[in-house]
Structure 1
C-alpha cells in the first residue's frame, strides 16, 4: 500500500465514522461571550476617548495659565532706576 492510498484510506475511515455531537448550548454560550467581549471593547474605547479628552483639556488649561510661549523676563541686568 502506497503512502497516498494509505492516507486516503485513513481520511475515508475518519469521514465514514459518526461525527462527535456538539453541546446543545454551544451557540448560546458563544453569543453570550461574544456580546460580553463587544461590550468590554466598547467600554475600553470610550474610556480611552475620555482620557484623551481629559488630557487635551488639561493641556489647554495649563497652556492658558502658564503661557509657555511667552519669553520670561530677563533678570541678568539690574533695572535702571534713579538716574
Structure 2
C-alpha cells in the first residue's frame, strides 16, 4: 500500500459517521468512574493510615529500645579494688 492509498483509506475512515451509542452508557460510565474514585480514595487513606501507624510504632520502639546507645561490654571483667 503506497502513500496515496493510505491517505485515501484514512480519509475514508475519518469521513464515516460516528456510531450511535446506547443512552445508558453514560450513566454506567459515571457510576463506574465514581466507584473507582471512591475505591482509590479509600486505598489512599488506608495507605496513609498504615504509614502513620508505622511511623508511630518506629518512634515508640526507638524511644524504648534506644538503639543508638552502645550496649555494655560483656568481654572484660569489671575493675574493682583500685
Name the TM tier (shorter chain). 0.7 to 0.9
Partner of 2:73: 74
Q: Distance in 2 between matches of 1:50 and 1:29?
A: 32
- 5+ long unaligned stretches in structure 2: none
The RMSD of aligned alpha carbons is 2.7
- 5+ long unaligned stretches in structure 1: none
Q: 1:48-76: CA deviations, max 9, x gaps?
A: 00010010011001101100000111112
Moved over 3 A (4+): 3-6
Partner of 1:48: 47
The TM-score with structure 2 as length reference comes to 0.78
